Amino acid sequence: MLGPTIETDRLILRPPAEADLDGWAAFMADERSARFVGGVQSRALAWRSMATMTGSWTLKGFGMFSVLEKASGRWVGRLGPWRPEGWPGTEVGWGISSAHWGKGYAAEGATAAIDWAFDALGWDEVIHCIDPANLASIAVAERLGSAKRGPGRMAPPFDNYDVDIWGQTREQWHVRRRAR
Q: How many C-beta neighbours within 10 Å does residue 8 have?
A: 16
- Model confidence, pTM: 0.94
Report how far residue 158's alpha carbon sits from residue 144's, in angstroms, rounded to the nearest whole number: 24
- Average pLDDT over the chain reads 94
Q: Omega before 157 cis (within 30°)?
A: yes
For residue 87, give every residue at least 6 positions away whose Cβ sits within 8 Å of its Cβ, in sequence order, or none. 129, 154, 155
Q: Structural domains in the chain?
A: 6-179 (3.40.630.30)
Nearest to 23 by CA among 64, 63, 78, 65: 78
Average pLDDT over residues 81-101: 95
pLDDT in tens, 65-88: 999 999 999 999 999 999 999 999
Q: What is the pLDDT of residue 1?
A: 62
Q: What is the pLDDT of residue 178?
A: 85
pLDDT in tens, 146-157: 999 999 998 888
